[in-house]
């Protein structure tokens, strides 16, 4: 697995975490109002991390990474 594939896997995991958070604390959850700000902030930072990963993936791809070049 090369670096691009590893980054894509992490990005997918972040998306899944965001979806799971949203599924737990739906608007009809009894504690929705209590956790709204914190869950919203977590969602924001998860999305921001995904955007940063997109930038890293683009950089790695633009540098022409091949599987042989990845040492991890």
Task: Report yes or no: 39 and 25 within 8 Å, Cβ to Cβ.
Answer: yes
Domain range list for the chain: 3-63
Q: Walk along the chain (72 residues) and give the pLDDT tens digit of each residue.
A: 899 999 999 999 999 999 999 899 999 999 999 999 999 999 999 999 999 999 999 999 888 765 445 455
pLDDT of residue 69: 52
Q: What is the 3-state secondary structure (H, E, C) of 8-61?
A: HHHHHHHHHHHHHHHHHCCCCCCCHHHHHHHHHHHHHHHHHHHHHHHHHHHHHH
Tell me how far apart the alpha carbons of residues 43 and 50 are, in angstroms, rounded to a whole number. 11
User: What pTM does this model have?
Assistant: 0.74
Tell me how far apart the alpha carbons of residues 32 and 27 are, in angstroms, rounded to a whole number. 6
């Amino acid at each position: 697995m090369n670096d691009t594939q590893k980054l894509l896997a992490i990005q997918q995991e972040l998306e899944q975490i965001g979806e799971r958070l949203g599924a737990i604390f739906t608007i009809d959850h009894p504690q929705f109002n209590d956790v709204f700000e914190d869950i919203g902030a977590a969602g924001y930072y998860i999305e921001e991390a995904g955007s940063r990963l997109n930038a890293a993936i683009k950089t790695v791809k633009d540098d022409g990474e091949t599987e042989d070049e990845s040492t991890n």
